[in-house]
Structure 1
Amino acid sequence: MTWHAQMIAADEAFDGAPLLRREFALEEGHGAVARATLTLTAQGVVEAWLNGRPVSEDLLTPGWSSYEWRLRYATYDVTDLVEPATVLGLALGKGWFGGRLGWTGGAAWYGGAQGAFAQLEVVFADGSTQLIVTDDAWASGPSAVLANDLYDGETIDARLRDDAWKLPGFAGEGWTGTHAIEFDTAKLQPYIGPAVTRWAALPVQEISTSPSGKTLVDFGQNLVGWIKVRVQGPAGTEVTIRHAEVLEHGELGVRPLRSAQATDRYILSGGVDEFEPTFTFHGFRYAEITGWPGELKAEDLTAIAIGSELTRIGEFSSSDPLLNQFHENVVWGMRGNFVDVPTDCPQRDERLGWTGDIAAFAPTAAYLYDVDAFLSDWLVDLDLEQRHNDGIVGFVIPDVLKYMPHPADFGKPNTTALWSDAAVWVPWDLYEAYGDTAVLERQFDSMASHVRRVKSLLSPAGVWDGNFQFGDWLDPDAPPEDPAKAKADKGVVATACAYRSARILADTAALLGRTAEQAEFEAHAADLRAAFNREYVSGGVVLSDCTTVYSLAIVFGLLDPADEEFAGDRLAELAAEAGYRISTGFAGTPFIADALTQTGHTDVAYRLLLEKECPSWLYPVTMGATTVWERWDSMLPDGTINPGEMTSFNHYALGAVADWMHRVVGGLAPLKPGYASVLVAPQPGGGLTEAATSLETRHGRVSVRWSLDGDLLTVDAELPEGVDGILRLPGREDQRLSGGPVSVTAEVHSSVGAVR
């Protein structure tokens, strides 16, 4: 692109939500308009209209990137919207650039003024072009938005609404000018990932009165977005809507929001008003309504779910309704946290792109939705932040934490196991899911930089035990106020993660034909494996002797066969000692079911999966959860919210077990990256009598459905033409598969499905 536009700001602040307009006439004598293209971005978030018609349904454009080095722009075909006399109108909000970010109370961490950047190119029939660009010839004025912030909500005064500013001939009373602000156009890059859009509308399920007399609305689903309101009342009436994920003893449970106000305020015009606060978003199921004129009716409110535009590709169902609800909770948790960046939570004063969460969850995400472009976009920012931070992959991407006071208990900022390993694990997960080495090519330098930095942090003994680690974060046995105080030795966890990253990188180098790097990282992985066994393993016992360390050691391939057999048995024993309740945190949870399956204890994995007592995956489901919680006991059995300061009811990380559900319960796994070859290998258990899973791969749709009737197992599978596979069933020889449907009924051992 050749840029002619400037980044412009309003001459007055206008409460952080200015309107900008430029009226122009199409040049004559060139014939009809052949094509008109609008390129748009902002320091903040921006919405655009041409003659009062919206340019797109996109939201929160241009999203959140590492603004210091990359600002994305969107491009729209607006050929049908330009007229002989046209007004290009822009509305600005604070967004991530100018609003609050993080839990310290600060805002506008990126510095500089809110601004808009637009370049409209009109191409005529004779080939000539006309450019309309943001410059100091634009006008600016106030909007009906009196306040806007992603954390705190939006205030809109309907009495100030006047759409005349979007149309030709507007007088502009109360309006002023604009000015260009300093901006480096070299930062401008096109979107790689998708835009944020509305993706669902949910009706009110119940309107009730709380014990204290407050009006409460329940939408029946924890979601991310806002409430669309239709209301009529006396002019000047103020309606307030506060959002929260849960009720606590019948009242809105706002303590987990910490300082986020999550409150929208609407001042009525006296006519019929409709409100949508598109410069904010909330994580909520419930809302408390105050100031409503007259009787509140269900049809007056609609919950609008927003998120990055993603295509659903993976499905799962089973004979167990609770397990199905858990899987649905995983889906909703992912959608709510995939709002331009993969965030930890969508409701409190945080909503940051924590690297550990996506490192754990990426395989599940890549199965449920096509996240190739979404996560590839995020990885660009990871690389940028890493390059500008001495090779350190931060706790969050984009790394806004670098501007905030560093928490003392986090130690000096440095590379951290599992979290920083996202630099290696996420690209590899995308390659395995979609079969395209391009992401590995793009990210190779970032991957290598991370592994080499970890190598520099190893102790003289060759293990990673010297700097701050989150370790097995949120181990359920850790105290609420100290979620890092886990059973698993942090050096064991970190060294295991370091080995996995080195092993993946060696395989990546081999795929890309980088023979020197392959040799380098093969040797490094071998050294880490030897050091792990020398320092942490004795007679099969892994230091700290807990479920997470055995899970990592088994799945990452760190143990020799005899030690792995012992570790598997010990892992099963520890799970039984815990009453088949969860005893792992962020590090162990994604891998424990696979570790049990790999060592012949699939029955124990099912016991864990289907346990209902806290802590377990199904306990939140029994408590009415509709998303995955941050803590295993975010809500206690008596309906009280966990006393820890950090509690979210929408965190996807602990839903990473859905990946095992798809592969082992459903029975669908790739034999080659991208499902170019497929393994159909359901392993029934847990008393399930049927399950089904399907996936839209790059090669077409793959599906597996099985049912169990006594000792008879029936499997129906279908592969796309051109895709081969293997059908592997208990007690049978592998059967080769080719494209098309197959149905097999086999007698299985009576122990299959016996765990109840």
Structure 2
Amino acid sequence: MSYPSLTLEHDLTAPALPTGSPRLSWTTPPGSPAQTGYAVEVTAVDGTVRRSEHDGDESVLVAWPFEPLASREQVEVRVRTRATDGWGDWSEPVIAEASLLHASDWQARMISPREGHAAGDPAPVLATEIDLPDDVVSARLYLTALGTATVWIGDRRVGEDYLAPGWNAYRHRLEHRVHDVTDHLLAAGPRTQVAAVVGNGWYRGELTWDLRLCYGDRIGVQAQLEIETAGGERIVYGTGPDWRAAATGVLADDLYGGQTTDLRRPGALETAAQAGGAVDVLDDVPTLEPALGPDVREIGTLSPLGNWRSPSGAQLVDFGQNLVGWLRIRVLRAADGQLLKVRHAEVIEHGELGTRPLRKARAEDVWTLPAVGPEEPLVLEPTLTFHGFRYAEIEGIALEDIELEAVVISSDLSRIGWFECSDPEINRLHENVVWGMRGNFVDVPTDCPQRDERLGWTGDLQVFAPTAATLCDVRGFLTSWLRDLAADQRADGTVPVVIPDVLVPDVDSQFAAGWSDAAVVVPWVLYERYGDLAVLERQYPSMTAWADAEYTAAGESRLWDTGFQYGDWLDPTAPPDDAAAAKADKGVVATAYLVRTLDLVARTARVLGKDDDAASHAERADAVRAAFRVAYVRADGHILSDCQTVYSLALAYDLLGSDEERSGAGRRLAELVEEADAHVSTGFLGTPVILDALCHAGRPDLAHRMLLQRGNPSWLYSVSMGATTIWERWDSLLEDGTINPSGMTSFNHYAYGAVADWLYRSVAGLAPTAPGYRTISIAPLVTGDLTRASARLLTPYGEAAVSWVLREERLAVGVTVPTGSTATIALPTDDDVPAQVGPGRHTFEVAWRSPV
């Protein structure tokens, strides 16, 4: 028997485990016999071995079978499985090391410069010198900041991450990150410098339109360096009042505005060595917690596709892809004092950089250069900011005097899903979704990454969460975000429309249907896609608090038709200056979401064994569903406001009672789609469900026709216009190549990319039917519009895949089922096929029957 592959928690490895009781997951190679038991072995640093054996076929997020690890404790873990023919081999050992788990573990203090600490002052460097023992065997740096911090030990930068520690609900919690810095210390001398450059980041920078200083006016860093010696001694150095501060040559830094740097001034390390300014200890610091999600890292680079002079004479460069990051510039020649300025934008309009969609975000990096010659080129990159862009305008230096590449950054999420089909434009659409997700998943899931408002809008993530969980492993990333959601949730249970919440003064937009429902939808998606029961247990108080608040908002009528609502935001018929003016009645939309939330909370309670809660929420859902039908639905299935969105929500969320209502609603939805020539007429809340609703209505042919529509509005319209990410508006770029006149027009907005989940589940036909893909549905929707499609997923149990090819009325299907899973098969054919298959590779060739 082959040995299993073992991972801990959310595939995290030392030294970053945020818990002393990491859950264990393992996969076994295809063809392995069914598991009947498992054993876990832990080896401590002193050689002590503990072993625990269990019966059963569990292999995903298995509970830690020993006493919890203490802070800093490190052990080796390995696992083996038992089948009917006996025990298999042990897995390769994995290091489990706990982070600092308790506030009492911290000796370091949060420090900030005493002078020159205002928002408009240069970025500070804070530094000290330490004496190192000569027998260092290991070292860890525990790091957090109010703002962002980049640390050097000696002349070596710590880590490969950026913008650390990220963005949290700072009023309540602050994550810290961990680095193995053993090699840094072994390379250093007996006395070495530790220095940290601190940027404004999300803590003090501009976050919403004209709003700055959302959290505080003092940025700072808290760093604790712990050294283990050969003799077993632990030596701790931490930030404190003995550190020194100085101003760097980074004269200004802001996530929206950009970074301004004077390179004629000494570099950060040289400045640190000469620093003499005092620091203050900041006492009012949020609760420190270990980081749950991955670091923000450089995930790739892109070379320019071309450059040219605009009509105004500006030097423009095209990188061929809308991305998030910055430029890395290699300066070959420059005069002392020469100014280099870079402006960024997503599109070109009238031959010039299209900056209007950025609104007040300058998205501009500026350097004052020293004299540079080709014998010693100078490499520049701004790392205290980021931009969303495809195009850059270079001012102040000739293009022949520099070399450029675009640095792509994102939270370092593992890719787990791939899709491909016979239509190249659908494949490009899928890639646009991937790029949009990468660009907006920079520590928190934002709506867009380029303009003067890049916030964690709950509505965008609520509709996109199933796609996100299909494309990448987002368990740790979204678990962290959900902790912020629960922390920022109001005492009355209402959930802000952005998380972390920075719209506190904006009372009218503090909660809304489809937005605040992320509190319930996102935990359920993580459970459904990854089998993570713990996320439901942890978020349950938040989920029920929101469900109660939402139910209360509906009042005695059980219809949520009062108060502020975004509704079916950005319906394509809404005027440019009023994105909420959708066809769909806001009460219909909000009440539909109320039913969905109550249903999901009832299901959650049932899974958690809270049967009384489950019955109560199910009863509430039935009451609201009944009120919905009486108020909004006619006997023939017609629904108030008679538009694509209301029928899609009613069919997808099971809001209709009789067969007559369901069939009537399905017919009317199909009529509306046909009247629109299969153009999309839905906004943020109707779009994710309309294709499923058409399938529920028995019209998968119309679903495919809508998917493949290339005219405006449609998914492929943007592709035909050269989009490389998903747009905020169906027509963010008009057919004449000009930017939509609305003041709210983004070219990297992933909400409409929610369609990608349907590509996997329906077009390819690969969907979970039990949490974590323990059981899988293989049901490709083959209508004849496409001739082939395939999807591959790295599920918690291993790789699952389906591929199909349609040739001359014959359908060939290949299926891969991971060990530990089973799959049900439903093919569009009258031929006999197995109803269920087990692990392994299976192929079928059948006579194809059109599903319509």
Per the alignment, residue 607 of structure 1 pairs with 705
8 Å contact from structure 1 (residues 21, 166) kept in 2:
no
8 Å contact from structure 1 (residues 473, 586) kept in 2:
yes
Determine the C-alpha separation between the residues in 2 that align with 1:575 and 1:723: 38
Paired residue secondary structure (2:549): helix
Determine the C-alpha separation between the residues in 1 that align with 2:472 and 2:116: 40
Q: Counterpart amino acid of 2:310?
A: S
Q: 1:70-97: per-residue Cα shift (whole Å, max 9, x none)?
A: 0111111112212421211101100000
8 Å contact from structure 2 (residues 343, 365) kept in 1:
yes
Per the alignment, residue 122 of structure 1 pairs with 227
| Mapped pair 1:399 → 2:501 | yes
Of the three residues 644, 647, 665, the one matched with 1:550 is: 647
Q: Counterpart amino acid of 2:149?
A: V
8 Å contact from structure 2 (residues 195, 269) kept in 1:
no
| Mapped pair 1:267 → 2:373 | no
8 Å contact from structure 1 (residues 611, 618) kept in 2:
yes
8 Å contact from structure 1 (residues 727, 737) kept in 2:
yes
Determine the C-alpha separation between the residues in 1 that align with 2:416 and 2:815: 17
Paired residue secondary structure (1:713): strand
Determine the C-alpha separation between the residues in 2 that align with 1:56 and 1:21: 17
| Mapped pair 1:516 → 2:612 | yes
Question: Alpha carbons of 1:166 and 1:696: their partners in 2 closer, same or farther (altered >3 Å)?
Answer: farther
Per the alignment, residue 495 of structure 1 pairs with 591
Map 1:574-653 to 2 at 5 A.
574-653=672-751
Determine the C-alpha separation between the residues in 2 that align with 1:351 and 1:546: 31
Map 1:89-488 to 2 at 5 A.
89-103=195-209, 105-162=210-267, 164-165=269-270, 170=273, 172=274, 175-184=276-285, 187-231=287-331, 232-271=333-372, 272-293=377-398, 295=400, 300-386=403-489, 388-403=490-505, 406=506, 412-488=508-584
8 Å contact from structure 1 (residues 610, 686) kept in 2:
no
* Count of aligned residue pairs for this structure pair: 734
Determine the C-alpha separation between the residues in 2 that align with 1:5 and 1:686: 64
Determine the C-alpha separation between the residues in 2 that align with 1:696 and 1:45: 33
Determine the C-alpha separation between the residues in 2 that align with 1:166 and 1:598: 66
Per the alignment, residue 83 of structure 2 pairs with none
Per the alignment, residue 152 of structure 2 pairs with 49
Question: Alpha carbons of 1:219 and 1:414: their partners in 2 closer, same or farther (altered >3 Å)?
Answer: closer
8 Å contact from structure 1 (residues 393, 450) kept in 2:
yes
Of the three residues 710, 722, 747, the one matched with 2:808 is: 710
Report the TM-score when normalising by structure 1: 0.95
Question: Alpha carbons of 1:78 and 1:317: their partners in 2 closer, same or farther (altered >3 Å)?
Answer: same
Q: Counterpart amino acid of 1:314?
A: G
Cα deviation for residue 11 of structure 1 reads 2.5
Cα deviation for residue 13 of structure 1 reads 2.1
Q: Counterpart amino acid of 1:74?
A: R
8 Å contact from structure 1 (residues 607, 686) kept in 2:
no
8 Å contact from structure 1 (residues 37, 75) kept in 2:
yes
Q: Counterpart amino acid of 1:607?
A: R
Determine the C-alpha separation between the residues in 2 that align with 1:201 and 1:424: 37
Cα deviation for residue 183 of structure 1 reads 2.6
Determine the C-alpha separation between the residues in 1 that align with 2:350 and 2:328: 27
Determine the C-alpha separation between the residues in 1 that align with 2:271 and 2:662: 68
8 Å contact from structure 2 (residues 315, 393) kept in 1:
yes
8 Å contact from structure 1 (residues 258, 349) kept in 2:
yes
Q: Counterpart amino acid of 2:707?
A: L
Q: 1:623-667: per-residue Cα shift (whole Å, max 9, x none)?
A: 000000000010100011000110000000011111111111111
Determine the C-alpha separation between the residues in 1 that align with 2:725 and 2:384: 24
Determine the C-alpha separation between the residues in 2 that align with 1:378 and 1:582: 31
| Mapped pair 1:655 → 2:746 | no
Question: Alpha carbons of 1:414 and 1:243: their partners in 2 closer, same or farther (altered >3 Å)?
Answer: closer
Question: Alpha carbons of 1:686 and 1:546: their partners in 2 closer, same or farther (altered >3 Å)?
Answer: farther
Cα deviation for residue 7 of structure 1 reads 1.0
8 Å contact from structure 1 (residues 547, 592) kept in 2:
yes
Q: Percent identity?
A: 49
Root-mean-square deviation (CA), in Å?
1.5
Q: Counterpart amino acid of 2:528?
A: E
Question: Alpha carbons of 1:240 and 1:526: their partners in 2 closer, same or farther (altered >3 Å)?
Answer: same
8 Å contact from structure 1 (residues 100, 107) kept in 2:
yes
8 Å contact from structure 1 (residues 158, 273) kept in 2:
no
Most deviating of 154-163 and 571-580: 154-163
Cα deviation for residue 734 of structure 1 reads 5.5
Cα deviation for residue 678 of structure 1 reads 1.0
8 Å contact from structure 2 (residues 153, 184) kept in 1:
yes
> Unaligned stretches of 5+ in structure 1?
none
Paired residue secondary structure (2:382): coil
8 Å contact from structure 1 (residues 51, 166) kept in 2:
no
Q: 1:137-185: per-residue Cα shift (whole Å, max 9, x none)?
A: 1111121211100001001222124365389xx4x1x64222212233x
8 Å contact from structure 2 (residues 799, 817) kept in 1:
yes
Paired residue secondary structure (1:450): helix
Map 1:44-83 to 2 at 5 A.
44-82=147-185, 83=188
Determine the C-alpha separation between the residues in 2 that align with 1:463 and 1:293: 63
Question: Alpha carbons of 1:294 and 1:203: their partners in 2 closer, same or farther (altered >3 Å)?
Answer: closer
| Mapped pair 1:86 → 2:192 | yes
Per the alignment, residue 681 of structure 1 pairs with 779
8 Å contact from structure 2 (residues 529, 773) kept in 1:
yes
Q: Counterpart amino acid of 1:95?
A: G
Q: Counterpart amino acid of 2:202?
A: W
Q: Counterpart amino acid of 1:454?
A: E
Map 1:666-677 to 2 at 5 A.
666-677=764-775
Determine the C-alpha separation between the residues in 2 that align with 1:109 and 1:726: 51
Determine the C-alpha separation between the residues in 1 that align with 2:529 and 2:283: 42
Q: 1:45-77: per-residue Cα shift (whole Å, max 9, x none)?
A: 000111111110111011110001101111111
Map 1:1-40 to 2 at 5 A.
1=102, 2-13=105-116, 15-27=121-133, 32-40=135-143
Map 1:563-582 to 2 at 5 A.
563-582=661-680
8 Å contact from structure 2 (residues 503, 510) kept in 1:
no
> Unaligned stretches of 5+ in structure 2?
1-101
Determine the C-alpha separation between the residues in 1 that align with 2:270 and 2:115: 17
Q: Counterpart amino acid of 2:655?
A: L
Determine the C-alpha separation between the residues in 1 that align with 2:399 and 2:162: 32
Q: Counterpart amino acid of 1:379?
A: L
Paired residue secondary structure (2:688): coil
Cα deviation for residue 599 of structure 1 reads 1.8
Cα deviation for residue 266 of structure 1 reads 1.4
Paired residue secondary structure (1:494): helix
Paired residue secondary structure (1:24): strand
Determine the C-alpha separation between the residues in 2 that align with 1:112 and 1:349: 20
Q: Counterpart amino acid of 2:504?
A: K
Determine the C-alpha separation between the residues in 2 that align with 1:37 and 1:212: 53
Report the TM-score when normalising by structure 2: 0.85
Determine the C-alpha separation between the residues in 2 that align with 1:502 and 1:132: 51
